[in-house]
Amino acid sequence: MATSSAITPAAWLRSNGFLLGLVLAVVAAFLFPGPGARGGALQPELVNNGGIALILFLQGLSLAIEKIRSGAANWRLHLVIQAFTFVVFPLVGLLLDWTVPHFWRGQPEAIRQGFLYLCVLPSTISTSVVLTAVARGNTAGALFNAAFSNILGVIVTPLLVHVLMQSTGQHQPFGPLLLKITLLTLLPFGIGMALRPRLKDFVDRNKVWITRISNAVILFIVYSAFCDSVKENIWQKYGAGLTLATTAVVVVLFTGMSLLVGLSCKLLKLDRPDSIAAYFCSVKKTLAMGVPLAMLIFGKNSDISLILLPIMFYHPLQLLVNGLLANRWAREGVGEG
């Protein structure tokens, strides 16, 4: 008897619960903006700062350093991934900023900042590794590079934001920002990594709950960001055209970077496993670290929800397309084997 391959509602919720949570957080902000706005009953300023430190502590605690050593020697793969993450992507962001003046002219400045911010974020860790494994790529190389880019991203991402904003005529004092980032991200991240050897077994047994706690904090930060924008009547001002325009540019950016990474892997003659790892680590951008870092870098900006909009649209797109690609490449790998 043939077994059914239909996806149950419970399985769908487990796979897509975070994306559904993002939608619900935004809806809640539009329905109940008061508690999550600045000065609201939920005290978002205090909760967000504590939540950012907690997220980075849990990421450091969960970072399996002992598992990434086997992928450390493949320097060509590392160079390709890190160059795309922190050099090519930011340059493409600047090119986009310079070549689409009509789009930026018709949209709020925060969207322009949001796309620049999206382009300097590090890669995801879990999904990059999982998709590389599904597609039969170099899993050890993907784990090393995804983890390494997140460690670098704690400092490099704010630094690149500062440089890009300066190049586009915007100015932000970097000294106070660096101090705040050190206290709320780098310090808890380092403490988590230092405690990892002692708590490894406990952390590995409770991965699901650690992920749920991190996701809950991210959802609260997103909720509070959108509460401020609703209170400021930003969405009434710009309407549905803003969402459609942002979606279009996100699709163009993702498609262009995917093609560019694929072409570069062919020109550099990377083998199939390394090309798969390079693709998934290079085109993906982390929402888990992107949201807390955005609150630190742009937190006093009332348009923070608009700054987060590009990464919030990029996140589900990369999951959908890369999930399809991983399954396709897995079938091709079986055929070749």
CB proximity list for 12: less than 8 A, separation 6 or greater: none
DSSP 71-112: GTT-HHHHHHHHHIIIIIHHHHHHHHHHH-HHHHHTS-HHHH
pLDDT for 243:
82
- pLDDT value at position 255? 96
User: Residue 167 corresponds to which tokens in the numbers above?
Assistant: 């190049």
- pTM comes to 0.79
Q: Are the C-beta atoms of 82 and 48 separated by less than 8 Å?
A: no
Read off the amino acid at residue 115: F
The dihedral over CA atoms of 66, 70, 74, 75, expressed in degrees to the nearest 10, equals 30
**Structural domains of the chain, with CATH:** 40-331 (1.20.1530.20)
pLDDT digit of tens for each residue in the chain (337 aa)?
Answer: 444 455 676 666 666 677 788 888 888 988 888 888 777 888 777 777 788 788 878 878 887 766 666 666 778 899 999 999 999 999 999 888 887 655 556 677 888 889 999 999 999 887 888 889 889 899 888 888 888 888 888 788 888 887 876 655 555 565 666 677 677 777 888 888 889 888 888 988 888 888 888 888 888 888 887 887 787 776 777 777 788 888 899 999 999 999 999 999 999 999 999 999 999 999 999 888 888 888 878 866 657 888 888 998 898 889 889 888 988 898 886 545 4
